[in-house]
Each structure stands twice: as structure tokens, then as C-alpha cells.
Amino acid sequence: MSRFDLSPPTPAQREALAAGLSPDERRVLLQHGTEAPFCGVFLDNKREGTYCCRLCGLPLFRSGAKFDSGTGWPSFFAPYDEAHVRRIRDTSHGMVRTEIVCARCGSHLGHVFPDGPPPTYERHCLNSVSLAFVDAGQPQPDPLQRGGAEAGPA
């Protein structure tokens, strides 16, 4: 069970959060788009910390689970907490894939594939614009002002 409040933002909160997104962030997070490969700000990020949802701040992936997949997008072998990432069957583009979205706000993150490294053998392939990064030891973002675990260090 997650120590974070996973209840979705209210419509007013969601609207306020979405107002702060750039057009590219809006296209990816809210309209299930994809950023171009090899251009995301977090592709080569080597700092220790936590990758969070760009919209609602929920922790999604730890830097210790990041690996270089060679695909052009930040890749992780395991989420911060399985409860924080929801998997959805995606049949767009004439293929079957598994889309991953933020379990709290439903923002599009990317896709998960069964070709990652041990121990999970999964590759969570993320759009950098879907993410915010919190350096280790810094407080988690709390854009929904819920306090609790959200206010603690990453």
C-alpha cells in the first residue's frame, strides 16, 4: 500500500495544474503524445533522486532503477511503487502495447515493454516531459497540497 494519497485531483486542481504546462507537456501528458527520441532533458540525467509526475508530483521512479536502454527515452526497470503506475492496453498504431499512466492523475507517461534488465525484465520507457526530478534528500513536490508523505524528503 502506497504511503502517498492516490486519490485523483479535483477538477479545479487538475485545471490549475494543467494551466502551468507548456504546449509540448500538454500534448504528451494530456493527449497521450510522445516526445522525439534522444532529446528529453532526463535521458542522460545521472543525479540521485526521484522522478515524479510532472502534473501531480506523485513519485514514479527512483534513479537507482534507471538504465540506458539505447532507445532514446529515459528507461527504468521498476517503478517507485507499483501502485503509482497504472497499465493500460494500447492498440493504437496497429500494434498492442502497454501504456503507463500516473495512477493518481492519469497523465500519460510512456509505455512498458518486456525487454528490460533483471530483476524485472521490464523497460518502462518514459517521456522526459512527463517527469519532474527531485534530487535525493529534497522534499517531494506537493502541488495538490496534501501534506503527509508528499511533504517528506525524496
Annotated binding site: 53, 56, 102, 105
| CA distances from residue 133 to 50, 60, 67, 129 in whole angstroms, order as listed | 6, 10, 16, 11
Spell out the residues 6+ positions from residue 93 whose beta carbon is closer than 8 angstroms to its own.
none
Under 8 Å between Cβ of 60 and 125: no
Under 8 Å between Cβ of 154 and 49: yes
- Active-site residue (options: 125, 131, 134, 144): 125
Is 39 known to be catalytic? no
Binding residues for Zn(2+): 53, 56, 102, 105
Burial zone of 23 (CB within 10 Å; 0-12 exposed, 13-18 middle, 19+ buried)? exposed
* Radius of gyration in angstroms for the set of CA atoms belonging to the chain, rounded to a whole number: 15
**Catalytic site residues?**
125
